[in-house]
């Protein structure tokens, strides 16, 4: 977390333990898919190379890369609209994630 008491650190190396810790993140809203939530939180917090490592751990646990959020979109649908997220999208696609039919290309 960043803030007045803890400044944001850019370029910090993340250990495997820290990357894996995102597997345990649970959504606040019980209706939200836990797999989508974990992917979203990892995407929001990690650099692309750390996110790619996270995806490896995520898949190894048998979790769902194509889990949908409350709006029916997958994490790949969401980040594919962010022009600076190409490396994140590529990591997901390489691991087998798919866009929903509604998201298109």
Confidence tier at 99 by pLDDT (50, 70, 90): confident
Give the CA distances from residue 35 to residues 10, 83, 105, in Å, rounded to whole numbers and listed in that order: 26, 23, 23
Beta strands in the chain (DSSP E): none
Question: Is residue 91 over pLDDT 80?
Answer: yes
Judge contact between 56 and 95, C-beta under 8 A.
Answer: yes
How many helices (H) and strands (E) the chain has is answered by 5, 0
Average pLDDT, the chain: 88
Comparing C-alpha atoms, which of 72, 69, 61, 67 is closest to residue 103?
72
Question: Is residue 56 over pLDDT 60?
Answer: yes
Comparing C-alpha atoms, which of 91, 23, 101, 33 is closest to residue 67?
33
pLDDT tens digits for range 66-83: 999 999 999 999 999 998
Residue 81: both structure tokens together: 């609209």
Confidence tier at 3 by pLDDT (50, 70, 90): very low
């Amino acid at each position: 977390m960043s803030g007045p008491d803890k400044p944001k650190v850019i370029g910090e190396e993340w250990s495997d333990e820290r990357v894996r810790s995102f597997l345990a993140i649970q959504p606040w809203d019980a209706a939200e898919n836990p797999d989508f939530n974990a992917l979203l939180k990892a995407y929001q917090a990690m650099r692309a190379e750390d996110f790619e490592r996270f995806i490896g751990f995520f898949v190894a646990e048998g979790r769902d890369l194509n889990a949908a959020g409350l709006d029916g979109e997958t994490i790949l649908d969401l980040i594919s609209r962010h022009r600076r997220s190409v490396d994140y999208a590529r990591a997901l696609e390489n691991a087998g994630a798919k866009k929903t039919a509604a998201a298109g290309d």
